């Protein structure tokens, strides 16, 4: 069996997967490896963007020395959409090419039936991780993945500009809107014509689902589809949240924000042309780079909330899972537990500023010395809002319908109320009798 994947382009980065990944090892010999005669050899899919592959490689090499086993690395597509499609093809065919899969936090419901229950191998280690992340990776009572890298939305701000204008980091969306407008207008009057108050991920894609879920949840408007399967998005608080966000576009946020993904927002903020930015934790290391125009001028806090609401950050991140078709499940599980363990997570945090999934690593003095803002992330991750993965295999359709409805409101093609009412009807049809 041979599965091919065309080269794709995501966020301007070409991605490809090693040829060996696409050739099922139906014989004991071949270009991709030989039948094991001693220590087991397994294959792990690592990320391919930025330092993802290098950090994975270093951890695997350390495990090889410790265990005596071997692991081949393959780079997954940069686009998560392409990676999911590839995994679905391989798993549906029962292929054993990849033993360990790097999966997005929203994939357990889609891939769970093909993944090994890791509970027999953990020896209770799951209690060490953020409870919300373990819950996210548990399907029908089976722990089908271990949290490897945490992510949740954060608010970045220009410390120097807030200090200059006597503002404090905003606790509410109203405070953010007011401060952003005040600083933006004053700086423009002083000659900084390109400055905007707030940038975020407003393109019609998964990133907008994350942003909009944060707005809605912080207003008390629910999580689109509740854990019991109820569709909750058509409510006054959700409407108020999306209406608020729509008011930013063209006022404190550039019209072009409707096409922004993470890197576009970061580019504007890091060039010095935004007061506030919503983004993931990865942007911190970039902002602090030696060539960054805003180096040492950036602060990071939890996202704002509505008056009377609660802060809400969408849960993101990556997990490691073992395929049910692995020929060496025990060895694969051992590597997963090593890579997701506290010692390895500490190394990745120090060397690559990767966010741990184990709370106590955030208390480590060496980790905090390298990443001082990590101290503020623990409560964010504890209270992170999961996406509506209760939709299972229909999650992608739910998310797509949601981001398109919100985008229409942001672009002022429809009032927020009309968009969300139509969305709720679409989701009811998609749900049918049950998810």
Quote the domain boundaries for residue 21: 8-144+315-382
Q: Are residues 305 and 319 in the same domain?
A: no
Q: Are residues 50 and 96 in the same domain?
A: yes
Q: Are residues 271 and 295 in the same domain?
A: yes
Which pLDDT score, from 0 to 100, does residue 19 have?
34
Which pLDDT score, from 0 to 100, does residue 372 have?
87
Q: Are residues 198 and 109 in the same domain?
A: no
The answer to whether residue 20 sits within a structural domain is yes
Tokens of 350: 């120090």
The residue with tokens 């020929």 is 327
Task: Report the CATH number at residue 91.
Answer: 3.40.190.10
Kindly state the helix (H) or strand (E) to which residue 379 belongs, with its residue range. Answer: helix 377-382
Out of 359, 382, 405, pick the residue that ends a domain. Answer: 382
Question: Are the C-beta atoms of residues 196 and 274 closer than 8 Å to each other?
Answer: yes
The answer to whether residue 2 sits within a structural domain is no
Which pLDDT score, from 0 to 100, does residue 81 have?
75
Which pLDDT score, from 0 to 100, does residue 38 have?
59
Question: Are the C-beta atoms of residues 335 and 44 closer than 8 Å to each other?
Answer: yes
The answer to whether residue 415 sits within a structural domain is yes
pTM for this one?
0.81
The answer to whether residue 110 sits within a structural domain is yes
Q: Are residues 112 and 48 in the same domain?
A: yes
User: How many Cα atoms within 13 Å fall on the side-chain side of residue 117?
Assistant: 7
The answer to whether residue 1 sits within a structural domain is no
Q: Are residues 343 and 404 in the same domain?
A: no
Q: Are residues 91 and 168 in the same domain?
A: no
Q: Are residues 292 and 396 in the same domain?
A: yes
d(CA 121, CA 267): 43
d(CA 355, CA 340): 11
Q: Are residues 31 and 62 in the same domain?
A: yes
Q: Are residues 266 and 352 in the same domain?
A: no
Which pLDDT score, from 0 to 100, does residue 359 have?
95
Question: Are the C-beta atoms of residues 346 and 356 closer than 8 Å to each other?
Answer: yes
Q: Are residues 296 and 222 in the same domain?
A: yes
Number of domains the chain is built from: 2
| pLDDT by 10s per residue, the chain, length 435 | 333 333 333 333 333 333 344 333 322 333 333 444 558 999 999 988 768 899 999 999 999 999 999 999 999 887 777 888 899 999 999 999 999 999 999 999 899 999 999 999 999 999 999 998 999 899 989 999 999 999 999 999 999 999 999 999 999 999 999 999 999 999 999 999 999 999 999 999 999 999 999 999 999 999 999 989 999 999 999 999 999 999 999 999 999 999 999 999 999 999 999 999 999 988 988 898 899 999 999 999 999 999 989 989 998 999 999 999 999 999 999 999 999 999 999 999 999 889 999 999 999 999 999 888 898 888 888 888 989 988 988 998 999 999 999 999 999 999 999 999 999 999 999 999 888
Q: Are residues 161 and 302 in the same domain?
A: yes
The answer to whether residue 320 sits within a structural domain is yes
């Amino acid at each position: 069996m041979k599965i091919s994947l065309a080269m794709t382009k995501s966020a301007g980065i070409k991605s490809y997967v090693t040829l060996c990944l696409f050739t099922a090892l139906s014989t004991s010999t071949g270009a991709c490896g030989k039948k094991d005669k001693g220590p087991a050899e397994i294959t792990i899919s690592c990320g391919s963007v930025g330092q993802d592959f290098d950090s994975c490689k270093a951890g695997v090499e350390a495990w090889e020395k410790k265990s005596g086993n071997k692991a081949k690395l393959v780079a997954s597509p940069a686009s998560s959409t392409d990676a999911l499609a590839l995994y679905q093809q391989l798993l549906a065919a029962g292929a054993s090419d990849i033993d360990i899969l790097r999966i997005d936090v929203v994939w357990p419901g889609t891939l769970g039936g093909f993944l090994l229950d890791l509970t027999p191998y953990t020896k209770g280690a799951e209690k060490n991780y953020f409870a919300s992340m373990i819950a996210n990776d548990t399907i029908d009572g089976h722990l089908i993945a271990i949290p490897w890298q945490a992510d949740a939305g954060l608010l970045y701000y220009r410390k120097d500009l807030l200090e200059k204008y006597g503002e404090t980091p905003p606790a509410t969306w109203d405070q953010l809107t007011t401060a952003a407008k005040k600083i933006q207008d004053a700086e423009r009057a002083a000659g900084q014509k390109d400055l905007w108050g707030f940038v975020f991920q407003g393109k019609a894609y998964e990133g907008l689902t994350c942003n909009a879920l944060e707005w809605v949840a912080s207003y008390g408007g629910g999580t689109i589809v509740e854990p019991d399967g109820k569709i909750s998005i058509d409510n006054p608080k959700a409407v108020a949240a999306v209406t608020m966000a729509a008011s930013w576009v063209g006022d404190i946020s550039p019209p072009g924000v409707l096409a922004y993904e993470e890197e576009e927002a970061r580019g504007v903020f890091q060039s010095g042309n935004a007061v506030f930015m919503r983004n993931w934790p990865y942007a911190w290391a970039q902002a602090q780079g030696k060539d960054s125009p805003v180096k040492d001028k950036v602060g990071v806090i939890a996202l704002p909330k509505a008056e009377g609401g609660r802060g809400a950050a969408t849960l993101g991140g990556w997990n490691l899972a073992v395929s049910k078709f692995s020929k060496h499940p025990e060895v694969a599980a051992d590597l997963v537990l090593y890579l997701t363990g506290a010692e390895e997570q500490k190394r990745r945090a120090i060397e690559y500023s990767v966010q741990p999934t184990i709370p106590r690593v955030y208390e480590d003095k060496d980790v905090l010395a390298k990443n001082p803002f990590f101290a503020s992330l623990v409560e964010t991750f504890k209270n992170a809002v999961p996406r509506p993965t209760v939709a299972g295999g229909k999650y992608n359709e739910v998310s797509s319908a949601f981001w398109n409805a919100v985008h229409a409101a942001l672009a002022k093609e429809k009032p927020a109320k009309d968009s969300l009412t139509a969305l709720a009807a679409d989701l009811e049809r998609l749900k049918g009798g049950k998810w």
